[in-house]
A and B are shown apart, each in its own frame.
Chain A
């Protein structure tokens, strides 16, 4: 039985917990406590360790889903939970003033740790906060050498969580087939 990982990374309120729950076969483990930064993040609770879910496959293999802690003080965990990951979903909250810069940071941290630098960026709350436009994320990432898919999503909708997974898998598959 082989175990793979997919990492969900992003700042507070970006939807990591929701995205993991959308895909997990088992009730995800979520370690949340009252958010001492609730006012700033608009959230009652926040993840203080990580979110954990599982996707169980017929072959017996399992894909472990990890949502990284949002606070920077837990960044020591990032290398651990992204080891041997096949991809990372970077979730952004377009309502935050530092959304683009934060996304670039997350990509810089996680892309080197996942297969082929396989990341997809999902930007939430674009309907309520139409600026910055999605192109701003793509341009900022390109400036630092990352050419990644960027999409407007609402991970409360399961089809958007599946879209992010689909894109991750499609990128891996394309690279694998074109290498062959």
Chain B
């Protein structure tokens, strides 16, 4: 059974016969997707332009059948989705067929170009989304889509089920979002269903002019820091001892007191993941998120890295041994013990 059909109206029998013959000729390009019917219903109604001209000139390109006019000249009729200049030839027919085929697909199922993959609650780090899946719209979870974009950025927008944009990415430029850094972290954490749409070059240009972009590393930080069921990225070892090369710029990255605490310990002394969680009283999951996030910033290094650096030993100053109570009081007073995120944006 054919996928698409053409019905004709008021065409000479010879023209209809020629139409059938041409479709067979075009089989290498069109396959056997098309058939010619004697009457409606069909996807396409082909008729002389002068016949279609008698109908109200109202475009009806969003419903079937689509009208294709056979015309004596190149004049376009409003009501016709496509026109073929007589005499009909295989190239002219092919051009019209390809145009209507695309439109028919859209009309039949507006979502048909969206490939749905399961909402991924946990993306296996080895199971990368195939590059080919970004040739169309992709329905998946926000975290899976973000992970894919961080691996290999393409110009894309992510929209939620209400069709509102969550963020957009332009490779080499960054990402843009109307959300604050803290809101974005919360959204990533919630991992809502999302549709990833690859952008055309026109869309890219318009977006680049309309929005301010932030570095992709901020998105990467937000992605890793927000994981609920984190896994350690393969570049980071469960048992390896790490140090921070420098402090993250918490002035511009969403963070909580826990991340400040983790950074302070890892800057003071190299640690394994287990040690980090134990010594800081921060949960293992949070410590894992932190290691993943700072690795993404290029700030995590094996313990022996940077050992050649000369760092000045602090000279004698006030003793710190009795400062525990003071530190606790100050933290409580200013709310520096809370786990909710603060951000700079």
Binding site for B on A (CB under 8 A): 2, 4, 23, 55, 57-59, 61, 63, 84-86, 111-118, 122-123, 134-135, 138, 142, 144-154, 159-160, 162-163, 165-167, 169-179
B252 contacts A152, C-beta separation under 8 Å:
yes
Q: Which B residues lie at the A interface, using CB under 8 A?
A: 246-247, 249-252, 257, 260-261, 263-265, 267-269, 279, 309-312, 314-315, 317-321, 323-327, 329-331, 333-336, 342, 344
User: For residue B334, which residues in chain A have a CB less than 8 angstroms away from its CB?
Assistant: 23, 162, 165-166
A151 to B11, CA, bound (A): 76
A61 touches B329 (CB 8 A): yes
Question: How far is it, in angstroms, between the C-alpha of A148 and the C-alpha of B309 when the chains are bound?
Answer: 13
Let me know if B318 and A115 touch, CB within 8 A.
Answer: yes
CB-based contact B333/A170 at 8 Å: no
A169 to B337, CA, bound (A): 11
Chain B residues within an 8 Å CB radius of A159: 342
| B315 engages A142 (CB within 8 Å) | no
Known: A165-B334, A174-B268. A147 touches B311 (CB 8 A): yes
Interface centre among B251, B265, B312, B320 (most CB of A within 10 A): B251
Given contacts A112-B317, A169-B331, A176-B320, contact A117 B264 (CB under 8 A): no
A113 to B317, CA, bound (A): 6
Q: What 6 A-B pairs are tightest by C-beta distance, nearest first?
A: A117-B314, A145-B312, A170-B264, A149-B247, A151-B251, A174-B264
- Which residues of the partner chain B approach A86 to less than 8 Å between Cβ atoms? 318, 320, 323, 326
Inter-chain CA distance A159–B344, complex, in Å, is 8
Inter-subunit contact A138/B327 (CB<8 Å): no
Q: Chain A residues with Cβ under 8 A from B320's Cβ?
A: 86, 115-116, 172, 175-176, 179
- Return A30 CB to nearest CB of chain B, in Å: 21
Contact between B317 and A117, CB atoms less than 8 A apart: yes
Contact A166 B260 (CB under 8 A): yes
Is the Cβ of B250 less than 8 Å from the Cβ of A151? yes
Chain B residues with CB under 8 Å of A150's CB are 246-247, 249
By beta carbon, the residue of chain B nearest A123 is B251
Closest to A157 in B: B344
Q: List 9 A-B contacts (CB under 8 A).
A: A23-B334, A63-B326, A112-B314, A117-B312, A145-B310, A147-B246, A159-B342, A170-B261, A173-B261
Contacts of A146 in B (CB 8 A): 311-312
Determine whether the beta carbon of A165 is less than 8 Å from that of B264: no
Q: How far is the CB of B247 from chain A (nearest CB, A)?
A: 4
Could you say which residues of chain A place their CB within 8 Å of the CB of B325?
59
Bound Cα distance from A138 to B279, whole angstroms: 26
Q: Among the listed A57, A138, A160, A166, which residue makes an inter-chain contact with B329, where contact means beta carbons less than 8 Å apart?
A: A57
Contact in complex: B311, A170 (CB < 8 Å): no
Whether B264 pairs with A152 at a CB distance below 8 angstroms is no
Q: Chain B residues near A135 (CB, 8 Å)?
A: 246
Contact A57 B249 (CB under 8 A): no
B268 A165 Cβ-Cβ under 8 A: no
CB-defined contacts of B247 to chain A, threshold 8 Å: 148-151, 167
A52 to B5, CA, bound (A): 85
Closest chain B residue, CB of each to CB of A153: B251
* Contact A147:B309 (CB < 8 A) given known A134-B249, A163-B250: yes
Would you give the shortest CB distance from B269 to chain A, in whole angstroms? Answer: 5
Question: Is B336 a contact partner of A174 (Cβ separation < 8 A)?
Answer: no
Cα of A151 to Cα of B330 in the assembled complex, Å: 21
Minimum C-beta distance from B71 to chain A (A): 59
Q: How far is the CA of A151 from the CA of B260 in the complex (A)?
A: 12
**Complex Cα distance A167/B324, Å?**
15
Docked pose: A167 CA to B336 CA in angstroms: 10
**Interface contact B249-A176, CB-CB below 8 Å:** no
Which residues of chain A come closer than 8 Å to B279, judged between CB atoms? 177-178
B343, chain A: closest CB distance, angstroms: 9
Assuming A146-B312, A170-B261, is B330 touching A176 (CB within 8 A)?
no
- Whether A84 and B250, one on each chain, are in contact in the complex, defined by CB atoms closer than 8 angstroms, is no
Q: Taking the nearest CB of chain B, how far is it from the CB of A54, in angstroms? A: 12
Known A-B contacts A134-B249, A145-B310, A174-B264; the reply to A115 vs B319 at CB < 8 A is yes
Q: Decide: A117 and B315 in contact? CB cutoff 8 A.
A: yes
Query: Provided the pairs A147-B311, A172-B320, A178-B268 are in contact, do residues A167 and B249 lie with their beta carbons within 8 angstroms?
Result: no
A176–chain B nearest beta-carbon distance, Å: 5
Most chain B beta carbons < 10 A, residue from A61, A147, A154, A177: A147
What are the residues of chain A within 8 A of B324 when measuring CB–CB? 173, 176
Q: What CA separation (Å) do A165 and B332 show in the bound complex?
A: 12
Residue of B nearest to A158 (CB): B334
Chain B residues near A166 (CB-CB < 8 A): 257, 260, 331, 334, 336
Contact A178–B265 (Cβ < 8 Å): yes
